[in-house]
């Protein structure tokens, strides 16, 4: 891996070339059925009159870069190139459920970063990580370390064999040499054992210290689980993390310890009684070591992943610090977008990291170097170029506040995703024609090429997304959850609002607008108020129009009018 050249200028123009040449994947428009979504071509629609460089930017702003020595090995310039390729298979931790190890595929490669896809699930669950992440492992790692592997949907646990899966679908596993060797960091001290108790910070609400258990140990990290709570709150950390403390720490430091749910007397929690009742041991206090506070200071410059649009890395400034965290501000953006991250987060890097690794860098909003090409669909949110979507990688881009990750309506909203491991609702199943069981689920590989028709392997399961004229980023899954899918498809198709509806059949429903009934019908539905122009004619199968509710009318009005 090249070392950073401080005099080397990183231009937005060259960044766009890198985005095309080094960020490999397929666009939403180009991908074939069954493939995962990848970035929109809109991402390359920016031009620049002159180059942008960190050196000049720091000089003009009389600013200082965060020293490289403040960054950990995981944050600093990588020692090796990113050798992963699109389509490679591997095993890794579910970013939303840290206790779950899954079958993953590389959906996109961009610089030293990867977009990973859960085989058998929608691309809206894809997530970004670094090529050197400790959360990813080679094929066979789970079997070797006796961890349960969550296999692709529609497979039986007792029938899934990695080599058979790869062979049947003509897939390639990621070579072991591509995965980072963490042995140099040293193993977890023997005093830490699975099942032992400790006190831990709830990272989603850092003011809370809770009763916790060591649920797993992998290499140099432990997985913390909060007693009596769902494992979606678990997290992995080093043993010197400031988020974990020995039993009794809260009492010694005057902090309130949150007892497990269902504890008889939570206001008078007793570790002695709890350990005896649960037949568990506490991690010895001597096993804990305090991490040295970071050296970051306010106003230092760096490069940081945009958590609202994680495919992007932006020019950033440290707005504030505490002992173990830094507050990130994106240059040129409003402070309402600032957020806190751990000082050792793998999402912050020294200046020049994007240049060295070949990753596009988003320059400050308002920079004279950036201008939008004529005719480019523009998002109304200041600074947003229409890249990404509040619903995640399933949508490559947006051009309205509805789908914008930065719009006021979405500012405090997390990506609205259902738990992929829970059973989907009937509405989602109906809106996803690809969910129907297929005798040949492995007909397409990640590149869209036809494979063995007799294979029993299911690859990426991609939803058919409706394209609504003028409102391509409307989230139909959320808007029409629980409604009759056949009615929705029929109404939108006959109104001319659907540009593509995949294989959806329209055998019986017709739509008419503003009272223009094309022919007499057996049943007619109308509503009052804003939706009073809607009508549904059911010409043949005698279906009840009671299904077509006033609420559905209001939803359709919102979508089409």
Diameter of the chain by CA atoms?
Answer: 83
End-to-end CA distance of the chain: 54
pLDDT tens-digit map of 387-398: 888 887 777 788
Give the helix/strand (H/E) hosting 149: strand 149-150
Helices 550-560 and 485-494: angle between axes, nearest 10 degrees = 40
b/e 237-252 (16+ beta carbons within 10 angstroms → b): bbbebbbbbbbebbee
pLDDT at res. 480 = 46
CA distance 342 to 200: 15
CB 192 within 8 A of CB 287: yes
CA distance 304 to 302: 7
Give the helix/strand (H/E) hosting 342: strand 339-342
Residue 558 main-chain phi, psi, to 5 deg: -60, -35
224 strand-pairing partners: 214, 235
CA distance 244 to 139: 31
Region for 146 from its dihedrals, namely left if φ exceeds 0, alpha if ψ lies in -120 to 50, beta otherwise: left
Residues 131-158: what's their mean pLDDT? 94
Instruction: Using DSSP, state whether 178 is helix, strand or coil.
Output: helix
What counts of helices (H) and strands (E) characterise the chain? 11, 24
CA distance 142 to 124: 25
CA distance 447 to 35: 7
pLDDT at res. 363 = 94
Domains and CATH numbers, the chain: 197-283 (2.30.30.140), 464-560 (no CATH)
**What CA–CA distances, in Å, run from 512 to 377, 507, 520, 538?**
30, 16, 11, 11
From the list 544, 537, 545, the residue with the least C-alpha distance to 521 is 537
What one-character-per-residue DSSP string does 19-55 give?
A: HHHTSB---TTTPPTTPPP---GGGG-EE-SS---HH
550 strand-pairing partners: none
Selected residue with higher pLDDT from 348 and 520: 348
What pTM was estimated for this model as a whole?
Answer: 0.70
CA dihedral 136, 140, 145, 149 (to 10 degrees): 70
pLDDT at res. 422 = 66
- The percent of residues in the chain predicted with pLDDT above 90, rounded, is 51
Residues 522-544: what's their mean pLDDT? 37
CB 179 within 8 A of CB 137: yes
* CA angle, 557 then 558 then 559, to 5°: 90
10 strand-pairing partners: none
pLDDT tens-digit map of 70-92: 999 999 999 999 999 999 999 99
**Pairing state between β 113-118 and 244-245:** unpaired
244 strand-pairing partners: 200
pLDDT tens-digit map of 300-334: 999 999 999 999 999 999 999 998 999 999 999 99
pLDDT tens-digit map of 350-400: 999 999 999 999 999 876 555 555 555 578 888 888 888 888 777 778 888
pLDDT at res. 500 = 38
pLDDT tens-digit map of 11-62: 333 344 334 445 776 433 334 333 434 443 334 334 343 589 999 999 999 9
In total, the chain counts a number of residues equal to: 561
CA distance 60 to 131: 34
- Residue 226 structure tokens: 């909060």
pLDDT bin (cut points 50, 70, 90) of residue 488 is: low
CA dihedral 84, 90, 95, 98 (to 10 degrees): -140
Residue 236 has pLDDT above 80, yes or no: yes
Among 219-233, 476-490, 515-529, 546-560, the range of highest mean pLDDT: 219-233
From the list 85, 83, 89, the residue with the least C-alpha distance to 171 is 89
Residue 558 has pLDDT above 60, yes or no: no
CB atoms near residue 494 (< 10 Å) = 18
Residue 496 main-chain phi, psi, to 5 deg: 80, 10
From the list 490, 496, 483, the residue with the least C-alpha distance to 547 is 483
pLDDT tens-digit map of 205-229: 989 999 999 999 999 999 999 999 9
Residue 526 main-chain phi, psi, to 5 deg: -140, 155
CA distance 124 to 394: 4
Residue 187 main-chain phi, psi, to 5 deg: -75, 170
From the list 473, 463, 469, 518, the residue with the least C-alpha distance to 492 is 469
What one-character-per-residue DSSP string does 73-136 give?
A: TTTS--SS-----TTEEEEEE-SS-TT-EEEEEEEEEETTEEEEEETTS-GGG-EEEETT-TTE
CB atoms near residue 444 (< 10 Å) = 19
pLDDT tens-digit map of 425-466: 333 443 344 333 333 333 323 333 333 333 333 333 333 334
CB 433 within 8 A of CB 506: no
pLDDT at res. 158 = 84
């Amino acid at each position: 891996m090249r070392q950073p050249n401080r005099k080397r200028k990183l231009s937005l123009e060259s960044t766009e070339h890198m985005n095309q040449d080094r960020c490999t994947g397929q666009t939403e428009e180009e991908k074939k059925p069954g493939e995962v979504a990848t970035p929109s071509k809109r991402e390359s629609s920016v031009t620049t009159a002159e180059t942008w460089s960190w050196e000049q930017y720091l000089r003009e702003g009389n600013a200082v870069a965060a020293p490289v020595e403040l960054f950990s090995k995981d944050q600093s310039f990588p020692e090796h190139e990113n050798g992963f390729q699109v389509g490679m298979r591997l095993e890794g931790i579910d970013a939303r459920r840290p206790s779950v190890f899954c079958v993953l595929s590389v959906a996109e490669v961009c610089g030293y970063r990867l977009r990973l896809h859960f085989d058998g699930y929608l691309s809206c669950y894809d997530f970004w990580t670094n090529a050197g992440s400790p959360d990813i492992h080679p094929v066979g790692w789970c079997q070797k370390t006796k961890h349960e592997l969550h296999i692709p949907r529609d497979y039986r646990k007792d029938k899934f064999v990695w080599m058979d899966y790869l062979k049947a679908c003509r897939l390639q596993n990621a070579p072991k040499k591509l995965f980072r060797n963490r042995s140099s960091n040293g193993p977890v001290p023997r005093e830490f054992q699975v099942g032992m108790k400790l006190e831990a910070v709830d990272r989603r609400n850092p003011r809370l210290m809770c009763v916790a258990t060591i649920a797993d140990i992998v290499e140099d990290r432990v997985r913390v689980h909060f007693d009596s709570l769902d494992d979606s709150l678990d997290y992995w950390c080093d043993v010197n993390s400031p988020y974990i403390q020995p039993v009794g720490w809260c009492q010694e430091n005057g902090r309130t310890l949150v007892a497990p749910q269902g504890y008889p007397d939570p206001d008078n929690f007793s570790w002695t009684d709890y350990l005896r009742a649960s037949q568990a041991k506490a991690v010895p206090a001597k096993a804990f070591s305090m991490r040295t506070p970071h050296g970051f200071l306010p106003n230092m410059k760096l490069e940081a992943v945009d958590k609202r649009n994680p495919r992007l890395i932006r020019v950033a400034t440290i707005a504030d610090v505490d002992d173990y965290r830094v507050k990130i501000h994106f240059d040129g953006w409003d402070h309402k977008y600032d957020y806190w991250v751990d000082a050792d987060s793998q999402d912050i890097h020294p200046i020049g990291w994007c240049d060295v690794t070949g990753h596009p860098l988003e320059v400050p909003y308002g920079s004279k170097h950036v201008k939008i090409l004529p005719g480019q669909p523009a998002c109304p949110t200041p600074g947003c170029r229409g890249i990404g979507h509040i619903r995640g990688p399933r949508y490559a881009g947006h051009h309205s506040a509805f789908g914008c990750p930065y719009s006021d309506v979405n500012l405090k909203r997390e990506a609205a995703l259902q738990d992929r491991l829970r059973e989907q609702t009937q509405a989602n199943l109906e809106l996803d024609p690809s969910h129907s069981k297929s005798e040949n689920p492995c007909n397409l590989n990640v590149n869209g090429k036809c494979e063995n028709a007799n294979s029993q392997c299911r690859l990426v399961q991609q939803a058919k997304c409706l394209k609504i004229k003028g409102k391509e980023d409307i989230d139909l899954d959320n808007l029409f959850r629980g409604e009759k899918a056949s009615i929705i498809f029929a109404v939108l198709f006959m109104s001319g609002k659907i540009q593509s509806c995949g294989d959806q059949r329209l055998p019986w429903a017709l739509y008419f607008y503003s009272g223009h009934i094309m022919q007499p019908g057996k049943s007619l539905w109308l509503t009052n108020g804003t939706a009073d122009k809607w009508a549904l004619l059911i010409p043949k199968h005698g279906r009840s129009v009671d299904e077509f509710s006033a609420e559905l009318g209001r939803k359709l009005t919102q979508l089409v009018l």
